[in-house]
Amino acid sequence: MKPDILDILISFSSFSIFGWMLEVSYRSLRNKRFVNPGLLKGPYLILYGAGALMLMGSVYLLQGSHLATKALVYLAITTGLELVSGFMAQYFFQVRLWDYSDQRFNYKGYICLKFSVYFLLLAFAFEYLVLPIYQDILIRVSPAVKGLFAGVTVSAILADFLMVSVKRFLSVTSGDEAMMETEFIKTARPLLEHPGVARLSQCEHHRGKTRLEHVKEVAYLSFLWGKRFSLDCDSIVRGALLHDLFYYDWLREGPRLHGFRHHNIALKNARTITSLSQKEEDIIKRHMWPLTVIPPRYVESLIVSLVDTFCCARDYACLKKHDKTAKATAVFVGYGHVEAVWQSNPQACPQGTDRL
């Protein structure tokens, strides 16, 4: 059977879920307690979904081939997939999903002969036992049901994967975290102490949040992303702290079309309190992109613009209830800790800067 895109998506989801059930049963029985395998939170293992798709393609292409040829291809697929995914999980997420180090004939604990043979047998079972039944069921299911199932499950898997990736991407060791906080404080403090910036605490910005809280939040989250991408974090912090430097209540007063104009007002105000680099100017000027058509010139500007949009959307969507003083969200947890460190160790921070 030649599958279409809907069949591919539905097969990926179905076998991801089936693989999860298989692994949960095996690991839970082995450990005599419930074990949720894999990197993601939901009941699916995308390794099995990807493996099933590759095997389905091979079965289709190897119709009529000798059993030995099939065995070689299936072995290459299952063992190769295991090796690549084990290595990627370790490299990108610092997670060891399985470890065959205690098995004979293993390679760095990612693959071993015993489990390669198991997966080869599983691949043949997949071809001769599972696939005929599965394809028979697939033909009977209406396209609407397939679409609904594929839409819900693929979206859930994708959202889960993105959330885990972002969380892992931003997570740091406690040692690195302390270093980054100190660096953030050193960069942010001179501007935050300036009366022109401190005055933002008097301005309401989003849903009970002051403008100062908003710019701090954008600056800290942008700083974390900047660190991950090895960007110019000084410019990110300074640009983000100044990106909404205006003092009117934009809901009740100020210029018409505030959304299209306030970046220029902020830039003008920022120039009066500090000297700005080209990059910092671009961060302030382009932070409303894509509302303002001209795109950012620097990756740093793009990061601040995206983080600003995310923070605004979160404030209005009320996904998490913000507590102005407590640590209610991940960003505020980070910044709240920064402020605590700052207050406990003010000497760590310079009292002025030649850039002010």
Q: Which residues bind Fe ion (CB under 5 A)?
A: 244, 308
Q: Given the complex with Fe ion, which of 70 and 279 has the nearer CB atom?
A: 279
Burial class (CB in 10 A: 0-12, 13-18, 19+), 305: buried
Contact 71, 79 (CB under 8 A): no
Q: Given the complex with Fe ion, which of 181 and 308 has the nearer CB atom?
A: 308
Task: Tell me the closest approach of the beta carbon of residue 214 to Fe ion, in angstroms.
Answer: 6
3-class SS at 187?
Answer: helix
Q: Terminus-to-terminus CA distance in the chain, angstroms?
A: 69
Task: Tell me the closest approach of the beta carbon of residue 308 to Fe ion, in angstroms.
Answer: 4
Cα torsion angle, 15, 17, 21, 23, sign: positive
Residue 9 phi, psi (nearest 5): -65, -45
β-strand partners of 204: 210
Strand residue runs (E) in 12-163: 106-107, 111-112
Task: Tell me the closest approach of the beta carbon of residue 209 to Fe ion, in angstroms.
Answer: 11
Closest CA to 325 of 209, 237, 222: 209
Q: Given the complex with Fe ion, which of 77 and 266 has the nearer CB atom?
A: 266
Report which DSSP code applies to 131: H
Task: Tell me the closest approach of the beta carbon of residue 173 to Fe ion, in angstroms.
Answer: 30
Task: Tell me the closest approach of the beta carbon of residue 211 to Fe ion, in angstroms.
Answer: 8
Helix H or strand E segment including 105: none
211 Cα distance to chain centroid: 26
Task: Tell me the closest approach of the beta carbon of residue 166 to Fe ion, in angstroms.
Answer: 20
